[in-house]
Structure 1
Amino acid sequence: MTEDIDYEIDAEDLPQRAGPRTLGAPSVVVDDVHVTYRVFGGRKGGTTQAKSSLLNRAINLGRPDTGPITKVPAVRGVSFVAHHGESIGIVGTNGSGKSTLLRAVAGLLPPTKGRVFVSGEPALLGVNAALLPRLSGERNIMVGGLALGLSAAEVRERTSAVADFAELGDFLYLPMSAYSSGMGSRLRFAISTITTPDILMIDEALATGDASFRKKSTARIEEIRDQAGTVFFVSHSLGSVRAMCTRVLWIDKGKLIADGDVDEVCDAYHAFVQGRTNATAGAQLR
């Protein structure tokens, strides 16, 4: 058992496996994308910034010394093309660059190198997506709907349906700080799909949902795909990836290791994680 693969979802709770779709034109083109983080005060021996110029030293005069700047490559030369009608899973161990790649595709994180082209407006959904804890669920639905381009009247018309989908009940009128993690996760999903996005990106968003909500969420994803949308799904649950996706990308240490058939890539990734886990356990026993 390892944290990199989630075995908690029972087979009978998984949604019906996604069937093939007739693919449309390209919706996302990722061309040799690199994303490098600059970490201030990093460890000695890392890749550090070159000696600063006299002007930079003058500008920084009097500022606290944060130490060297370490460059951390999170995504390294990833390229792929996604089409309308695809549901693409992204797998990889913790820290492999999955979420960073998703944010770069969504336009929230500029690539250090390379280019990203999208044919529509991406909607990124994640467990840590920003909701305002002091506001009620109702007010958060309004804020989220306005951010997605709806008018206030349109959001009010859809508030009841969003609340019902998220199963909020009377909690709709309570502040988000009173919500459980599962309720927050359900509300994030419901808000993100209040409209039908061209490109929906889900980052571990279903991890806290129960079996019933996973089935509802999967049905909503199928609706988006049926309307020629594109779905990206980042998850540690290989069972969910196999059921919900028609293609899988495997990212490791920022590099694209495999891109192809769901079962082939998931089987290879599972074997990789199991081999690494067994090697670690064997080293600990020595």
Structure 2
Amino acid sequence: MAVADDIRGISDIRTPDDARVPTVIADDVHIVYRVNGASGGKGSATAALSRMLKRDRGEQTRGVRKVHAVRGVSFTAYRGEAIGLIGTNGSGKSTLLRAIAGLLPTESGKVYTDGQPSLLGVNAALMGDLTGERNVILGGLAMGMSKEEIHERYQGIVDFSGINEKGDFITLPMRTYSSGMGARLRFAIAAAKDHDVLMIDEALATGDRKFQIRSEERIRELRKHAGTVFLVSHSLGSIRDTCDRVLWLEKGELLMDGPTAEVLKVYERETGK
């Protein structure tokens, strides 16, 4: 099994255009979840330990179901691209992003990355009992920003998120925020830094149109600074406005990879969306 590896030094995978710099290469990636079919309840922890010991001894474990979440996906992403991921629920979009971020192992195949991939909402691992202010600091540190950088960008992060427009919410614990407020703050923190590879999972679905426009503008800025952006969204409008390329996944398989207009035209025709 393999997690995301460094793309540098790879000699067996060539790019079609030497002028374009690859940031992510997915090479025949398969991801399989193993789901325990046994029910919970008393003794479930003991039963789980027993299953682990059997597995370590090489014995077969009954009641374990395999879910093939991603099936042989291959693509190359390049610096400066914004790539949308579309597909119905359960198509493998979020799973693929987690593999690119190095958070999930592949069953077979490999993911190569140039630089550090950042998955929105993971790198900025915020805590509900802390205030928004403390979480801005925590999230910035988690992304590798210095205290000085966080201080310089703090007010911009708060203003970008818009959570203080109706009160001084930044001084309140994040557990008091609505889901939309929390998502906007996470995006604002993540967007405060230029990324080699930034992956955004449905963050633009939260908030009003004004926040979405700010987010789309920031994504375009990130691309100008030589980053690559992946965006998962059920809003085809956000994909159309933000991305120049789209990957369409269904049942874990990559059905289509191409320019946004072409892929969305086929997707809308086939799905009726």
Give the TM-score, by structure 2 length: 0.81
Moved more, 125-134 or 156-165: 125-134
Among candidates 256, 259, 268, match of residue 258 of structure 1:
256
Name the aligned partner's letter for residue 105 of structure 1: I
- SS of equivalent to 2:70: strand
Residue-by-residue CA offset, 1:139-193 (whole Å, 9 max, x unaligned): 1111111111112232223222111111122111100011112211110101111
**Does the 8 Å contact 1:123/1:201 carry over to 2?**
yes
Tell me the equivalent position of 1:36: 32
Per the alignment, do residues 67 and 155 of structure 1 end up closer, same or farther by CA in structure 2, a change over 3 Å counting? same
Q: Secondary structure at the match of 2:96?
A: helix
Distance 2:185 2:194 in 1: 16
Aligned to 1:79: 74
What residue number does 2:202 align with?
Answer: 204
**Contact residue 127 and residue 203 of structure 1 kept, 8 A:** no
Question: 2:159 aligns to what?
Answer: 164
**Structure 1 counterpart of 2:22, which letter?**
P
Tell me if the contact between 2:123 and 2:142 (Cα under 8 Å) persists in the aligned partners.
no
Report the counterpart of residue 176 of structure 1 in structure 2.
Answer: 174
Is 1:148 aligned with 2:143?
yes
* Pair 1:212–1:116, CA change in 2 (3 A): same
- Preserved contact between residue 39 and residue 71 of structure 1 (Cα < 8 Å): yes
| Deviation by residue 1:197-225 (Cα, 9 ceiling, x = unmatched) | 11111100111121100111111111111
Counterpart secondary structure, 2:120 = strand
**Contact 1:127/1:204 (CA < 8 Å) preserved in 2?**
no
Cα RMSD, aligned residues only: 2.5
Tell me if structure 2 keeps the 8 A contact 1:24–1:228.
Answer: no
Instruction: Please give the secondary structure, in 2, of the residue aligned with 1:206.
Output: helix
Measure, in 2, the Cα distance between the counterparts of 1:101 and 1:165.
Answer: 28
The answer as to whether partners of 2:82 and 2:229 remain within 8 angstroms in 1 is yes
TM-score, normalisation: structure 1:
0.78
Kept in 1, the 8 Å contact 2:123–2:143? The answer is: no
- Measure how far apart 1:127 and its partner are: 9.8
Per-residue CA distance 1:30-78 (angstroms, 9 max, x = gap): 00001000000169xxxxxxxx99x728979xxxxx9511010000100
In structure 2, the partner of 1:192 is 190
The structure-2 alpha-carbon separation of the partners of 1:212 and 1:67, relative to structure 1 and needing over 3 Å to count, comes to same
Using the TM superposition, give the Cα deviation of residue 235 of structure 1 relative to its aligned residue in structure 2, in angstroms: 0.7
Which residue of 101, 106, 110 corresponds with 1:111? 106
Is the 1:133–1:175 Cα contact (8 Å) retained in structure 2?
Answer: yes
Counterparts of 1:187 and 1:263, CA distance in 2: 31
Q: Which runs of 5+ in 2 are unaligned?
A: 1-18, 40-49
User: Aligned with 2:257: secondary structure?
Assistant: strand
Letter in 1 for 2:27: D
Q: Percent identity?
A: 56
Structure 1: stretches of 5+ with no match in the other structure: 1-22, 44-51, 61-65, 278-286
Say if 2:124 and 2:138, in contact at 8 Å, map to a contact too. no
Counting matched residue pairs gives: 239
2:87 is matched with 92
C-alpha contact 2:23 2:114 (8 A) present in aligned 1: yes
Instruction: Supply the AA of the counterpart residue of 1:254.
Output: G
CA–CA distance in structure 2, aligned partners of residues 211 and 57 of structure 1: 51
Higher-RCO chain (CA-CA 8 Å, sequence separation at least 6): 1
Task: Identify if the C-alpha distance between structure 1 residues 42 and 36 changes in structure 2 by more than 3 Å, giving closer, same or farther.
Answer: farther
